[in-house]
Structure 1
Amino acid sequence: MAAISLFVSGCAPSFKAEAAPLESTSTTPAVVAPVLPTRVPSNVPMRKLAPGEKPPQFVLFSFDGVGVSPNWDEFLKAAEESGARFTALMTGLYFLTDRASKRYRGPGHLPGESALPFGGTRKEVREQIGYLNRTWYAGHEMGTHFVGHFCAGTKYPGKDWTAGDWKNELNQFFSLMQNWRRNTGINDGPDLAFGPGAVKGGRTQCLEGSPEKLFPALRAHQMTWDSSMPAAKPGIYWPSKTRGIWEFPVPYVYSPALKARQTALDFNFWMTYNGAKNTPKQAPKISRMVRGTYNYMYKRAYAGNRAPIVVANHFNDWSGSAFNPATWQFMRDVCGNPETICATYTDLVSWLELQDPAVLKELQGLPPVAVDAKS
């Protein structure tokens, strides 16, 4: 809490010169409240576009299932240097120690079952909380990557879930987030710097689920956006609101280096390149291919309809850490450019909803940027 000033503009208190200062007779030590960091503010100017005015080029960086990794440090550093904001999509498993794994029960699964590891030891969970707080105070957004990460190939994957299953999964995500101390028995270290109200959207595991089943669950938790759906058409186009949720699809674009179209997700790049085979020696080549594709997408959108670019990534070390360097280099390539804002989803939603409906409708009516072999 800020200290209360003794001075009001134009009026200062007066004191008698002979008055002796009062001495405290208390022997109880003064309690000093801890000074908490101040969260870095939004980087999106909240103003309406004039009719016919070009919008900024928004770029949306988001990271699925953020877990403790040197890559997290690198992205925080790149964002600070370039003025970018990104969205960290939290996996609920990481709020639980391995010993507390049975606190989670995924839809259609037994208690403690998951497709990914849990949070590890108490020390590792505390470290995770520290990274989340650091990210939050740096001005980035916290979203959800749900909990169990049950994809196609598991006994009851997300693609088969009902609306009730998605609500159950989100109920558990928020419960794990709020009750991480009680679930794990961790009584020391910092509290989580933000609450459930900060989580306004997310991405499902393996891009599974449908708006008909997923979006009612999002609305039930007062969420406003989603970025789980592969793009329904090629190119880059302005997002729209459906079933009460803003959908930011993962784009389906042409990669000049690969000479093929694909969903612009790091794992999909890997699959297209060599079937997701681990080839660390080829990491520099893969990294150049991914970075080149992102820059190609950016140049086409910037010169075209200025539709937001979704960059979907993981904190992974696949194939000799081929993918993360490409993404943080791309962040540095473009985020300081004129008329370019590397923003969070929630800030972009606020900007979109501020616009005059006619102006927004005109943007949404623009044809997709043709990011393909002929463009």
Structure 2
Amino acid sequence: MSTSRKKSRKARASRESSKPSKRTIYTAIALVSACAVTAVAIGLSTGDSDDGGKDATAATGAQPSLPGALGADGKGAKGKNGKPKKTEEPWDGKVKVLGDGSTSYTGPQPNQPKAEKLKPGQQPPQFIVFSWDGALQGDDRLFSHFRQVARDSNAQMTFFLSGMYLLPKSKRELYRPPQHKPGSAAISFATDPHIRDTLEQLRGAWQDGHEIGSHFNGHFCGAKGGDDWSTEEWKSEIKQQYSFVQNWKTNTGYTDIDPLPFDYTKELVGGRAPCLEGQKTLIPAAKSFGWRYDASSPGDFQLWPSKIDDVWNFPLQLLPYPKSEKQVLSMDFNFLYNQSGDSTEGDPAKYDEWLKLTRGGYLNGFERVYNGSRAPMFIGNHFENWNGGIYMQAIEDTMREACPREGVRCVSFRQLADWLDAQDPAVLAKLRGLDPAQAPDWKTFLK
């Protein structure tokens, strides 16, 4: 590892926020490393925020039903070596409606690739994970649009659902966020039509083979946000996400919508924390639910993944920003900040240029590892039309360009975890020693 890379890895990217709208933007400083790496992030909040409460960690109203995943104390079921596991039973071919009818078990998820172990001398696939924070189907209908882009591009993705998007505003006080008053949130509750539309998209996305992960609930950042939460408070936040997904029928009163076609206790295996805050105390909480990965790390180079306390760590990554020595975190917010600062409505005359720079940044990162170490590439997004929608266009262009390429697999985080778990640990350790652009002789590198 080069000296400059060692120094750069010590420079932590600033915290990334994860759901938005045209609201107040705050925060804007990044650390600059010896490699002139710039990674700036912003966070957004709404007038719905209310941080006057104290340690409200117990959910009220409908509670999550987690058979086979949790005991009454919220501790995970144990498998071999005492590790948490998700219990599975053979499917008898019959649909099983669960709980109040909000979810159901319809068998193994369709359209899933088989995880295969690398053979000696084989070049690894180039994995790309496109992920979406919040996963609300709004008036712009970007959720459904990108499902179609994925179908066109032979891609599968991860949708990090904010659980409170399935909770009507009229029932907001069922949400008891840690360290905040009941019913408070830093993002807006969804309208009834948007809840209905989001349920439709979640159903279709899962059937397409996409992953439904967690973006937790109230999107609190900064003071009394994730960095300030204890492991027990994170457990409360996670339990409430399960509850909002498993009990949306009770909470909404909708009787004309079919159950979601999955058992959320089996499907939920990872998430991304709002603003990328709190990973230290979040991971023990996530592990107790049997989760397999966490995507809340603020950022790193494009390296082969490793684990934190037996949980896969999937960070945002530093990508080469065109026409500069900078590297920018692989999320739309960071490109936005480098182009229009704290404004989501910058100078329209610059949109074409900014679009080219953003698309170029994503493709630079892709080409670096595709022709180099083949480290998986992680890209984070929000369904937002900032600066005329250029960031959505850049992602679409990148997906259509990269995913069909030979040897490329655009997958979900869960699918990537499946593949990594199927590999020889010694092989993964050797891959982690490669710099992003380092292309070994694959025929002799992995023996």
Q: TM-score, normalised by structure 1?
A: 0.84
Structure 2, unmatched stretches of 5+, are 1-91, 95-105, 439-447
Mapped partners of 2:208, 2:310: distance in 1: 29
Q: Is the 8 A contact 1:294 1:330 kept in 2?
A: yes
Mapped partners of 1:195, 1:96: distance in 2: 18
Mapped partners of 1:45, 1:341: distance in 2: 12
Q: Is the 8 A contact 1:230 1:252 kept in 2?
A: no
Tell me what 1:139 maps to: 209
SS of the aligned residue for 2:143 comes to helix
Mapped partners of 2:291, 2:389: distance in 1: 33
- More displaced 10-residue stretch of structure 1: 155-164 or 175-184: 155-164
1:358 matched to 2:426: yes
Tell me what 2:375 maps to: 307
Q: Give the alignment of 1:1-375 within 5 angstroms.
A: 40-42=110-112, 44-69=113-138, 70-121=141-192, 123-152=193-222, 155-196=223-264, 197-210=266-279, 212-232=280-300, 235-257=301-323, 259-277=325-343, 278-279=345-346, 281=348, 282-369=350-437
Deviation readout 1:4-36 (Å, 9 max, x if unpaired): xxxxxxxxxxxxxxxxxxxxxxxxxxxxxxxx8
Q: Is the 8 A contact 2:319 2:362 kept in 1?
A: no
Q: Is the 8 A contact 2:272 2:294 kept in 1?
A: yes
Mapped partners of 1:357, 1:244: distance in 2: 13
Q: Is the 8 A contact 2:319 2:364 kept in 1?
A: no
Percent of aligned pairs sharing the same letter: 35
Q: Is the 8 A contact 1:90 1:144 kept in 2?
A: yes
SS of the aligned residue for 2:381 comes to strand
Amino acid across the alignment from 2:208: A
Deviation readout 1:234-274 (Å, 9 max, x if unpaired): x3100011112100110023211454222121111111112
Deviation readout 1:162-209 (Å, 9 max, x if unpaired): 111111110111111111111122222121122221011110101111
SS of the aligned residue for 1:63 comes to strand
Q: Is the 8 A contact 2:346 2:387 kept in 1?
A: yes
Q: Is the 8 A contact 2:130 2:379 kept in 1?
A: yes
SS of the aligned residue for 1:189 comes to coil
Q: Is the 8 A contact 1:266 1:312 kept in 2?
A: yes
- More displaced 10-residue stretch of structure 1: 249-258 or 238-247: 249-258
Tell me what 2:17 maps to: none
Deviation readout 1:121-163 (Å, 9 max, x if unpaired): 2x332221111101111111110000000012xx511121111
Mapped partners of 1:183, 1:330: distance in 2: 39
Cα distance change, pair 257–112 in 1 and its aligned pair in 2 (3 A):
farther
Amino acid across the alignment from 1:296: N
Mapped partners of 1:354, 1:315: distance in 2: 33
Mapped partners of 2:371, 2:224: distance in 1: 44
Mapped partners of 1:223, 1:119: distance in 2: 27
Amino acid across the alignment from 2:418: S
How many residues in Structure 1 have an aligned counterpart in Structure 2?
331
SS of the aligned residue for 1:223 comes to coil
Cα distance change, pair 62–84 in 1 and its aligned pair in 2 (3 A):
same
Q: TM-score, normalised by structure 2?
A: 0.71
Question: Which has the higher Rg, Structure 1 or Structure 2?
Answer: 1
Per the TM alignment, residue 369 of structure 1 is displaced from its structure 2 partner at its CA by 3.6
